[in-house]
Chain A
Amino acid sequence: MTGVDSSAESPAVALESARSPITAAVGRFCLEQVETARDLYRVFVVTLYYSVRGEPNRKAFFRQMYEIGNRSLIFLCIVMGFIGMILVYQGGLQTQRVVPDLSLLGATFLQLLVRDLAASICALMLATRVGAGIAAEIGSMVVTEQVDALRMCATDPIDYLIRPRFLACLSVFGALVVIAAGVAFLAGMWTGYAFFGINPRTFANMSMVGPGDLTIGLTKCVAYGAAIPIISGYCGLTAFGGSEGVGAATTRAVVNSSLAVIILNFVISGTGYLIFG
């Protein structure tokens, strides 16, 4: 996921590429992706290993919980509040064009929130805020040789740097999603009342939320909460080249975390639909 490099090639290689330049480029791209995927998988597995077998590092864990949880809360609430208002407003407008009865708007909205939106939007927002933060911190440690100094003190940077962030994000993400979903729902409820005159009691309708929806939503929480710190931590660890490298690593982290969230969303939603209907 680092893009195709345009480094100078020796004449022999250039000749080789000249015969089938597109195939060479595609092949190189695919090989890079495979290598990245393999490294990412390794980081994930090693992090899990340290999570279970490593010595506990409570101070770092709580500090990360504060960084990821407390400091994202206001941002998430603002975003989810506006999302709630936008969705109910647009949804109401469009439904009115087809069906005059808006009584199920609240129920549909709640189901959508639980099943998908709360977790996914929070994940996208955290991918930008937390992903950038993690990659920036770890990336600047890499380019100032602090990560090498850690290795020289017999400390694995995955254990010391990524593990606390991974555990903190997993722990805190679910709570953030629940709070944010609540804010979105209340904002939507207000919008429904203010613009369409829907009775809040009618809006607060849980009838369409089933165990399948809850399962899908919770699975997404776990998946996103695990993916974001691993991917951004990996991007941070692979930074190189001074301040430019830190910026590049931060950008990669945001882009790749966001992409991962979208792809995971599709996979989990699709699987969920096939299982639960």
Chain B
Amino acid sequence: MQVETGTRSQPHPLSASVARFLSVVGGLGVLLSEILRRAVRRDFDRAELLRNLYRMGLKSLPIVTVTALFTGGIMVIQAAPIVQRYGAQGLLGWGAGFGTLREIAPLLTALMINGRVGANNTAELGTMTVTEQVDALRALAIDPVAFLVTPRFLSIVITLFLSTIFSDALALLGAAYAGAGFLGVDPGVFYRGLTTGLLGFGDVAHGLAKSIVFGCVIGLSSCHFGLATSGGAPGVGRSVNATVVASAAGVFVLDYLLSFALS
């Protein structure tokens, strides 16, 4: 029993923010351990996994395609002044290639998938939470983490991995055509520049390893914020906002750490 002893002092806004931040990180950690436990035991709903793979993967294809093509083009346009200055047409393939494979393709694909799949996932889980469907699952003795969360988490990771591969290829394609269009660099020269030996499979693997980590971040964040929604329709909107911001920040921080660690 609590005894009120006069006025309660409000926590300082800074410590309130820190406490909130730590509680989110803690929540993420707990959720991650629960998901991994079930994933390792193969205790998740396969039908849900396939359904989510279809919805997330297939329906993100147009976005990933457009993003990758335009990104390739932008890379070339950025490299163009340098190429013109040094007459290094042959190096265009290398220049566009390394940036794309190691950084740009994994990063931009992660951001677009975050926006499309991550936000959508949080919105769905959030709606289910505020309409008490998740509680209904528990009441039916169905484990929501195994039934809902783990399949979604796994399909986000798989979707991002496959999308990054796809995005790598398309970005280089877009870059080749932009190179031909803006700089008059023959696509054959571009292709040779890619494969001269300055770029290796290691660069591709570097990007793909990142995509797996990004997928984990996005999947974890979107599921956590979805399940923690409260407050009706505005609450769902707030959760989507929170997950999109948290995932983006997480992706960038991890990108830096991984770039450093994997070299």
Residues of B within 8 A of A129 (CB): 241, 244-245, 248
Count of chain B residues near A, Cβ 8 A:
57
Chain B residue at smallest Cβ distance from A271: B77
List chain B residues, Cβ under 8 A from A128: 111, 114-115, 244-245, 248
A residues 215-274 touching B (CB-CB < 8 Å): 242-248, 250-251, 254-255, 258-259, 262-263, 265-266, 269-270, 273-274
A211 interfacial contact with B, CB 8 Å: no
For residues 91 through 136 of chain A, which have their beta carbon under 8 Å from a beta carbon of chain B? 93-94, 97-98, 108, 112, 115-116, 124-125, 127-129, 132-133, 135-136
Tell me if A82 and B253 are in contact (CB < 8 A). yes
Residues of A within 8 A of B98 (CB): 90, 94
Check B234 against A247 for contact (C-beta < 8 Å).
Answer: no
With A75-B249, A97-B198 as known contacts, state yes or no: A116 contacts B237, CB within 8 Å: no
Give the size range of A's interface with the partner: 35 or more
Query: Does the CB pair A255–B259 fall under 8 Å?
Result: no
Overall SS of chain A's interface: helix
| Distance A129 CA – B233 CA, assembled complex (angstroms) | 18
In the complex the two chains form, what is the Cα distance from A133 to B127 in whole Å?
17
Which residues of chain B have C-beta atoms less than 8 A from A133's C-beta?
237, 241
Known contacts A79-B252, A86-B256, A254-B119: does B236 contact A247 (CB below 8 Å)?
yes
B123 within 8 A of A: yes
- Chain B residues closer than 8 Å to A143, beta-carbon distance: 233
Q: In the complex, A273 Cα to B103 Cα: how many Å?
A: 23
Q: With A254-B115, A255-B112, A262-B71 in contact, do A140 and B237 touch (Cβ < 8 Å)?
A: yes
Instruction: Add 16 more A-B contacts to A136-B240, A243-B235 (CB < 8 A).
Output: A3-B59, A86-B256, A87-B103, A89-B260, A90-B99, A90-B102, A98-B198, A128-B244, A135-B237, A136-B238, A140-B237, A259-B63, A262-B70, A262-B108, A265-B74, A270-B73
Q: Tell me the B residues contacting A by CB distance below 8 Å.
A: 59, 63, 66-67, 70-71, 73-74, 77-78, 80-82, 84, 91, 94, 98-99, 102-103, 108, 111-112, 114-116, 119-120, 122-124, 126-127, 130-131, 182, 198, 232-238, 240-241, 244-245, 248-249, 252-253, 255-256, 259-260, 263
Top 5 closest pairs, chain A to chain B, by CB: A247-B123, A136-B237, A254-B115, A243-B233, A140-B234
